[in-house]
Structure formats: C-alpha cells, structure tokens
Chains A and B, each alone.
Chain A
Amino acid sequence: MKPPLFLFRHVTKRFGDRVLLNIDEFAVSEGVCTLISGDNGAGKTTLLKIVSGLVKPDSAKVQVKDVEMSWAKARAKIQRSVVYLHQEPYMLDTSVERNVAYGLRLHKEPRASIYEKVAEALRWARLDHLAHRNARSLSGGEKQRVALTRARIVNPSVLALDEPTTNMDQQSRISTYQLIDELRNEGMAILVASHDQTGFTPIADHHFQLLSGKLIEVEPAFKRSRGTNITRLPG
C-alpha cells in the first residue's frame, strides 16, 4: 500500500474561544476519494482550506514522503499539489476557454500547447460548445464543471471540493459525480466536503463526519468496484 501523499497530524484551529478543529490525524492518499460531512459551521471549509494551504492552522504537522514538518514549511509543497474548488467557483471575467487556460498560462507553456490541452479538457467536460462564452454567464452546474476542468488541467495530485453539488439540478449533479469519479480513477486524491451524502457515498472510499472539531469515520473504508454506473445513483 502506498504511503499517503500528505498526512496531517494534530490540526487545530480556533476562532476566538471556540475550537473549530482539533484533528489527530488525516491522510490524503492517491486515488482515494474522501467525503467529509458535517453541520453548517462545523469547519469543513476551513479544514479543506488548511489542507489546500490557503488558511493557516493554529498548529499542524504534515508528513510528506515520510518526512514530518510544520504546516508552514509544508505549505509550498501543499500548494503545488492541491487545488481547492469553492462552493460557488469564481469565474474570471473572461471566456470559458481562457478560464480553463489560466493555470497553464501561469506555467508559461507554449501557446499552441495550452490551447490544444484546453480544447481536449473542454471536450472531456463536454463544455466545448461553451468555449467562447463569458464564464460568468453560465449556470451553476456549468460553472462547477468549468472549475473542475480548470483544476484538472494543471494536473494536481489532490483536488479539494467544497460542496460541489449545492444548488445543482439532478442532471448537473450526475454529471459532476461522473467527472469526480473519472478524476479519482486517473489517480487524483479527492476530498469532498458535502451535505450531499447520498450522492457521494457510492463514490467515496472513506466517509468522515466532522463533529465538535473531530473527524469521526462514519463507515469503514470499502473497496468500491471501479466503473460504478453513477447515472443510477439516487440524487
């Protein structure tokens, strides 16, 4: 069994007197989808942002390839590996194509190669017909798919998704489950914070509930048969 990409230990985060997170251990592993559920305000978003390197915890240790270091020291490594997607993804005020190309343009890839990859990624997400539309004019489900495509194209090791199916209709949710399942099958570690337990439980390898700052495994890890027909899942 491969060691986890990141093993977070003793993660704490306070807001004033309130202890929001007090997690002993949390592993992020290649090709594993982890569902985190919990009430509103339980700290799901904060946990995902800590794991993505966007929010600083009060304390945390991170084990990367058998080497343990402080969160601050691991932050650069985390940020290179993890892409965080907001509950309502932010669309840059430009076309879908340029939104998807954003991450690649940061890495100074040749222009021709960028647009070749973007075209392929848009086909993968079935968004090619929207390539030249302003991304802000899309529906919630389409924006979420653009955000997933924009994340996938930079080839992260970990994808942290915050409530990815909120305010989506049934069809968009099914489409999102399918894309997430494909990404996991490609070997990406997927972290999902969601209330939508029914939809994600069949995809998730682990399901944790965030309760009083602690992560409690809801059901033991199960081996899911690859190729589950997600379209049959209840919504």
Chain B
Amino acid sequence: MESLTDASLKALSLLVSGDAELWAIISISFGVSLQAILYTTPVALLTAYALAHFDFPGRRTLVSLFHTLLAVPAVVVGLTLYLILSRSGPFGDLKLLFTQTAMVLGQMALSFPILVAMGHSALQSADQRVWETAHTLGATPLRAMFTVMHEVRYGLFAAVIAAFGRIIAEVGCSMMVGGNILNYTRNITTAIALETSKGQFAQGIALGIVLLVLALVLNYSLSTLRHRLAMQA
C-alpha cells in the first residue's frame, strides 16, 4: 500500500499529465449529471411554481412529500430503479440497466425533490405584487410565471447548484444502475470506491481533488447568490 504522500503526488501528476482514463471518468461524471439537471430543471420548476402559486386539495401534502424525499438515500433510489429496469422489472425490455441513461434517470430522481423543494421556497417568497403587476400590464399566465421566476432567479439558481452538487457527488445510485463499467458508466464517485477497494489511492485522490474543487466552486457560487438574495431582500 502506497503512502498518502506518494499517492497524493501521483494523483497530482495524473491530473496534470492529462491521463486519458482519469479524464474519461471526469467527463462521464459531468456529462451524466449535466444531462440529469438539464432534463429535470424545467419540470421541477414548473412543479414548484404550481405548488407555490395554485391552491388545490393535497397541495400541502405534496410539499411535505417532496421535503421527505430530500432525505431518501441515493442507494434506495438506485435499488428502486434497479428493480424497475432489471430484466424481470416492468421496464426490463428497454435494456437500460448498466447504461448512462439509467444513471441519468437515477440522478434525475435524486435531483427532482431538491429542485422542487428549494424552488418552491424561492417562488413562495416572491412578492404577490410581481404576479399582479405582470398580469395587469397584459402578461399571459405563462409570461407572468416567467416574470415571477426572473424576480427570484437567484433562489432558483441556488436550487439548481445545490441539486447538481448532490447528484455529482452521489455514489449509491450510479453504482447500482450504472454498473461501474470503464469508459462507459464509471464516474468519479464509483471510480473512487473501486480504486479504494483495490488499495490504489492515486486515481481516487485525483478524482477526490476534482470533487473538492467542484464543491468549492459550487459553494462559492451559492454564497455569492445568497449574498445577492440578501441584497435583493
């Protein structure tokens, strides 16, 4: 087993030298998570808007449900999706198990409640006068919705950043439905788990550095947005 110093030096060397395998893993990770966030965000924000804007029976129950789903472990989402996509499951014929599509679906399921819960909070904080002003000046309900969203955009960006941070760092779901196949479904977190189990830490540390840098960038972006939100208030 290599020492921590040796492993860290090797990790830096792998990152700097542009190691093909390492950068393929990073690219799969970003590709899958960006796709998941891109597909989920519009539907989740529409759901959040409906929950914040319309009064209908069961609305409060739905809001509570989305807050509860925030606490569901990634591995449980992975297990559920595994059962649905496995050969004997209802969608087994689609042969999606151990594909990037399955990983995207899993990350969509993980990010949806975060986007809805945080988006709902942001949209609920919007001043009622925004909607009334838009409407009275001739906006259609759809256009009024976009105006409201624009006015709370920092809160919505914060929701997207938080959801992206959660899905790119999850391991349970990707491992179960992706299968950790090299150059296909092996992403940053599943690669770290694998390399650690083999006692080879250099690649794991290099990927860990990438995740840490990403976490730093996301947190800095979030704090900047929170600052702008406070200024806006």
Contact = CB atoms under 8 A, between A and B. Distances in A.
Interface string B128-164: 0110111111111001000100110000000000000
A54 B232 CA distance: 26
B137 A102 contact: yes
B19 interface: no
B232 to A, nearest CB: 7
Contacts of B232: 93
A151 B147 CA distance: 17
A154 B137 contact: yes
A145 interface: no
B127 interface: yes
Interface string B20-31: 000000000000
A106 B136 contact: no
Contact of A84 (B132, B143, B151): B132
Interface in B35-85: none
A106 B138 contact: yes
A84 B138 contact: no
A82 interface: yes
A54 B134 CA distance: 11
A103 interface: yes
A53 B139 CA distance: 13
Contacts of A151: 137
Interface in A93-123: 93, 102-103, 106-107
A92 B147 contact: yes
Given A86-B129, A92-B151, A93-B232, A106 B135 contact: no
Interface residues of A, number: 22
Interface in A62-88: 79-80, 82-84, 86, 88
Contacts of B151: 92-93
A54 B132 contact: yes
Contact of A106 (B129, B130, B137, B150): B137
Contacts of A124: none
Contacts of A92: 130, 133, 147, 150-151
B132 A106 contact: no
A150 interface: yes
B137 A54 contact: no
Nearest to B154: A93
Contact of B130 (A49, A52, A83, A90): A90
Given A54-B135, A90-B127, A93-B150, 18 more contacts: A52-B136, A54-B136, A79-B135, A79-B138, A83-B136, A84-B132, A86-B132, A86-B133, A90-B130, A90-B132, A92-B130, A92-B133, A103-B138, A106-B143, A150-B137, A151-B137, A154-B137, A154-B138
- List 8 A-B pairs, minimum CB-CB distance, nearest first: A90-B129, A103-B137, A84-B136, A90-B133, A106-B138, A83-B136, A86-B129, A106-B139
